[in-house]
Amino acid sequence: MLGVVQYGSGESHAGLGRVLAVPVAAVRAATLGSTGDVCEAWQSPRPVHGGRDGPVHWCADGVLAFLAVNIPDNGQHLEDAARSAYCALFSEIDALGYPHLLRVWNHIAGINDASSGLERYRQFNIGRQQAFMGSGRHVAGASVPAASALGADDGSPLTLYALASRQQPMAVENPRQMSAYHYPGDYGPCPPIFSRANLVDLGSPVLFVSGTASILGHQNMHVGNCREQTRETLRNINALLEEVRIRHGVHWCTGDLRFKAYLRHAEDLPVVQEEMERAAGRPISCLFIQADVCRSELLVEIEGIALPAD
């Protein structure tokens, strides 16, 4: 086992980490369509070793490292917490010899709340960008990681978990969407640093599709309409898979992905599920989570992982 992501109230999280002796990312957000806490397990076919270093709990198997980072969030400006989290992440993966940040999941309490006149997600983006620059990393282009950015229940620390690799991945952008790292200033003083997807050879090709939403160019589409937002999101994912096929010669269909979908409102579950199954043309593999999405106009964000076809 490389690591565990545990969704739920947070009450049982510390205990699970002690018992399993692997990193546990405690995401304080409820799953939908299931009761009690739900765990996502990252299993490895190889022997693993791990440790803890300040806010970073890690485990690695010679190919991938899984890292969980927790930074206290006192509700003040998030810039410092975000910078600390990413600086700790970068120095850890460099020290461990897994220098390529493949995929990051970010959970932020009160993500759409403002303090000091700035939305907390936008504060987060400032600190994240500072950490990329301060660690000598590119803030655009093929080495930018795939990511998702979501809310977390009130009182949650800043919770990140990530995968890093020895093998160099290749970021993929979406022709229907402006690269997020080029978003104009309308969305905050610093753009979000993430790619639309990251393709890596882990013996066979694996694709990490970033959190994807109802954004065309840089603009929110279908504000207030969850069904249409889901359809737009799925068109974006489809276009991204087409881009992967054209540029890299690896072909996955929407239905091949293992999804996670984040819903701002629990009552939208049937609509999102129906549209996803319609797009896939078959029953889908999806974990549904109730969480706020990083732009207040967005009702749904969908991410996925494509593994080798078997």
Which residues are annotated as catalytic? 301
Structure tokens belonging to residue 203: 């013996």
Burial of 101 (0-12, 13-18, 19+ CB in 10 A): buried
Task: Round to whole Å and give the CA distance between 214 and 220.
Answer: 6
Segment contacting ligand 3EB by CB under 6 A, of 78-86, 108-116, 211-219, 266-274: 211-219
- Are the beta carbons of 177 and 232 closer than 8 angstroms? no
Residue 60 or residue 125: which is nearer to ligand 3EB going by CB?
125
Q: Is the dihedral of CA 71, 102, 304, 111 positive or negative?
A: positive
| DSSP type of residue 185 | G
Under the binding rule (CB under 6 A), the answer on residue 230 touching ligand 3EB is no
Q: DSSP code of 276?
A: H
Which residue, 57 or 107, is less far from ligand 3EB as judged by CB?
A: 107
Of residues 8 and 211, the one with the C-beta less far from ligand 3EB: 211
Provide the mask over 120-159, with x wherever binding to ligand 3EB is found by CB under 6 A and - wherever it is not: ---------------------------xxx----------
**Contact status: 199 vs ligand 3EB (CB under 6 A):** no
Tokens 């690695």 belong to: 60
Contact between 211 and ligand 3EB by CB under 6 A: the answer reads: yes
Axis-axis angle for helices 79-96, 120-134 (nearest 10): 40
Residue recorded with tokens 């022997």: 47
Pattern 258-277, ligand 3EB, x by CB under 6 A: --------------------
For ligand 3EB, which residue of 86, 194, 208, 252 counts as binding (CB under 6 A)?
A: 194
Residue found by looking up tokens 């109230």 in the block: 9
Number of residues engaging ligand 3EB in binding (CB under 6 A): 13
Q: Which stretch binds ligand 3EB (CB under 6 A): 136-144, 158-166, 209-217, 257-265?
A: 209-217
Unique residue bearing structure tokens 């989290």: 85
Residues in the site for ligand 3EB, rule: CB under 6 A? 106, 147-149, 180, 192, 194, 210-211, 213, 215, 294, 301
